[in-house]
């Protein structure tokens, strides 16, 4: 049996003595979160995606929202004290975060950006986020995600 290669996110969780589980799957090309949840038979309400934006100030911000929802840019801007935000271009994801599209996780980015997690996560016991590469997921308690990313909860999705 091959030993699983740890991602930067997993190494950070290990270093902080945070319990997590991993799920790996074979994926030849990018699949969105809903496709992955359906493929793995997972509850999409437990699965969260990581989005990165840039404010008018030039700062980057990270938002973690349910895979089936959309980020409300006005609510998100207000949550981080910006006038407005724009999603970063797919080409910029690796340079800004160190991760690639489909493998971006809020844990272990190149810098610890201001991170906001949607309030829907507060009531959950466990959540599923990207493991830091395509084909890898991390399952952990929301309080641990908040702790390691120094995030805060805000209502940041569209109704």
The pTM of the full predicted model, rounded to 2 decimals, is 0.92
What 91-100 contacts at long range (C-beta under 8 Å, 24+ apart), as own/partner pairs, is: 93/52, 96/52, 96/60, 97/52, 98/8, 99/130, 99/132, 99/133, 100/133, 100/134
pLDDT of residue 4: 63
- CATH number of the domain encompassing residue 84: 3.90.960.10
Q: Is the pLDDT of residue 2 over 80?
A: no
Edge-to-edge order in the sheet of strand 21-24: 21-24, 136-140, 127-130
Is residue 1 situated within a structural domain? Answer: no
Report pLDDT digits (tens) over 7-35. 899 999 999 999 999 998 887 666 778 88
> In the structure, what pLDDT confidence band is assigned to residue 111 with cuts at 50, 70 and 90?
very high
Q: Is residue 102 one of the residues assigned to a domain?
A: yes
- Quick: pLDDT tens for 64-103: 999 999 999 999 999 999 999 999 998 999 999 999 888 8
Edge-first strand order for the sheet with 114-118 is 85-87, 48-55, 60-66, 114-118, 152-154
Cβ atoms of 159 and 71 within 8 Å: the answer is no
Q: What is the pLDDT of residues 124-151, one digit of tens each?
A: 999 999 999 888 899 999 999 999 999 9
Task: Report helix, strand and coil shares of the chain as percent, to nearest 5.
Answer: 30, 25, 45
Look up the domain containing 114 and give its range: 8-154
The total number of structural domains that make up the chain? 1
């Amino acid at each position: 049996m091959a030993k699983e290669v740890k991602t930067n996110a997993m190494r950070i969780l290990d270093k902080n003595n945070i319990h997590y589980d991993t799920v790996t799957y074979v994926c030849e090309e990018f699949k969105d979160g809903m496709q992955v949840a359906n493929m793995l038979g997972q509850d999409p309400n437990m699965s969260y995606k990581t989005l990165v934006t840039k404010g008018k100030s030039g700062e980057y911000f990270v938002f973690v929202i349910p895979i089936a929802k959309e980020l409300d840019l006005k609510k998100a801007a207000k949550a981080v004290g910006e006038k407005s935000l724009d999603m970063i271009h797919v080409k910029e994801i690796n340079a800004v975060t160190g991760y690639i599209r489909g493998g971006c996780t809020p844990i272990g980015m190149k810098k610890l950006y201001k991170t906001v997690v949607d309030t829907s996560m507060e009531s959950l016991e466990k959540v599923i986020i990207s493991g830091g590469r395509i084909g890898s997921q991390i399952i952990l308690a929301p309080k641990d995600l908040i702790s390691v990313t120094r995030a805060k909860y805000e209502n940041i999705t569209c109704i």
